[in-house]
Structure 1
Amino acid sequence: MKKILYIEMDNCIGCRSCLAACTQCGGHEERNRNYVYDVNPFVDRQTIPLMCLHCVNPACARSCPAQAIQITEEGAVLSALVEKCIGCQNCTIACPYGIPKFDEEQNLMYKCDLCYDRTKDGIPPMCASVCPTNTLQWIDENELAEKRERHRLGKWVSSRQPFEPLEGETNVKISLPGIIQGIQKLF
């Protein structure tokens, strides 16, 4: 059964273990490819993780004139291929979430690859494997259906369920109910 990355943003405690794990994933050259943001640092300690949502029809890949950004059968949108990337940075401009970054020295775009070397074999991405609060979860579609029912996620879930709050359909699912509705939730 297909597994997906599911993010329960209101569980995040800002420990940044996902960032440390990301640097250890194969092929990342010890470079973070995901981020943890402070929502409102002057008011509270709420943080949220942010990584590539692996869009079904990604703007970064559509904008690449060299076709350097590949999409796998499993839905992972990969970083630019070294041999194809021309350094135009269209992908960094096109992404509505600001995810792809550009390495000036290598003249190359990089971003979260969903630890494709692991996830293609059903192994959780590094970030999800170390998250102590289950903010980042590697779940199957049955577990996602249970979460939707339990939390009545509705429009607060990305990826067209039932509205289209984000750019389009994504392979990474996000839950925002606690943050948006002001509900305190313990894991």
Structure 2
Amino acid sequence: MAKQLLYIEMDNCIGCRSCLAACTQCGGHDSRNRNYVMDVDPMQTRQTIPLMCLHCVNPACARSCPAQAIQIADTGAVLSALVEKCIGCQNCTIACPYGIPKFDQEQNLMYKCDLCYDRTKDGIPPMCASVCPTNTLQWLTESELAEKQSAHRLAGGKWIASQSLEPLESETNVKISLPGILQGVQKLF
């Protein structure tokens, strides 16, 4: 089976929040949303962007965990803290340069997007990508991603992935396209 990854085309987001509703339905999420949709500049535009774990190749959250409660799956998914190991120190929430992991005071546990590991390990798209009406969130093979990159270059568009932006973490398993947002292009809606 070809390796698949989450691709986020931020320009397409219309703020419908279908991804958030679907996230709560993923097995093992305890009806808790693990992704976010942020308003870019609510006083100026309706532009929204989805925020979720980028599943860093060498994640700061896992490196900072003294209990080794954050595991990295063989698919590259960085999983939420294991209940039986997490000591509630919150190092992971502080260490993440993207501000993604959240800490649940009641459960004394960190939670974040785990790429719906129960689905993606079998090649099934994560819940968020399976319901996105605008293809902001896409579950692609590496060859499909390469095709997208090539098409953007041929069309004269500027394709930017998380690897080429001098990111805070050296490499992520989630790839992002941000052309309109980075270039100040106004949305029509």
- TM-score (normalizing by structure 2): 0.93
- Could you tell me how far apart the structure 2 residues matched to 1:11 and 1:167 are? 25
Name the SS of the counterpart of 2:24 in structure 1: helix
Contact 1:12 1:47 in 2 (8 A): yes
Distance apart, 1:147 and its partner CA: 1.2
- Could you tell me how far apart the structure 2 residues matched to 1:2 and 1:164 are? 24
Q: Between Structure 1 and Structure 2, how many residues are aligned?
A: 184
Q: Counterpart of 1:35?
A: 36
- TM-score (normalizing by structure 1): 0.94
Note if 1:95 corresponds to 2:96.
Answer: yes
Which portions of structure 1, spanning 4 or more consecutive aligned residues, are displaced by more than 6 angstroms? none
The 3 A distance-change label for structure 1 pair 57 and 154 is: farther
Name the SS of the counterpart of 1:118 in structure 2: helix
Distance apart, 1:155 and its partner CA: 7.0
- Could you tell me how far apart the structure 1 residues matched to 2:159 and 2:6 are? 18
Kindly provide the CA deviation profile for residues 97-122 of structure 1, in whole angstroms up to 9, marking residues without a partner as x: 11000111111000000000000000
Distance apart, 1:157 and its partner CA: 1.2
Residue type of the alignment partner of 2:184: G
Kindly provide the CA deviation profile for residues 141-184 of structure 1, in whole angstroms up to 9, marking residues without a partner as x: 0111111112237672102x3x5234220000000012111346
Residue type of the alignment partner of 1:168: S
Instruction: Calculate the aligned-residue CA RMSD, in Å.
Output: 1.6
1:6-85 counterparts in 2 under 5 A?
6-85=7-86
* % same residue: 83
Contact 1:35 1:51 in 2 (8 A): yes
Q: Counterpart of 1:142?
A: 143
Residue type of the alignment partner of 1:176: L
In structure 2, stretches of 5+ residues that fail to align are none
Residue type of the alignment partner of 2:146: A
Residue type of the alignment partner of 1:158: S
- Could you tell me how far apart the structure 1 residues matched to 2:149 and 2:187 are? 15
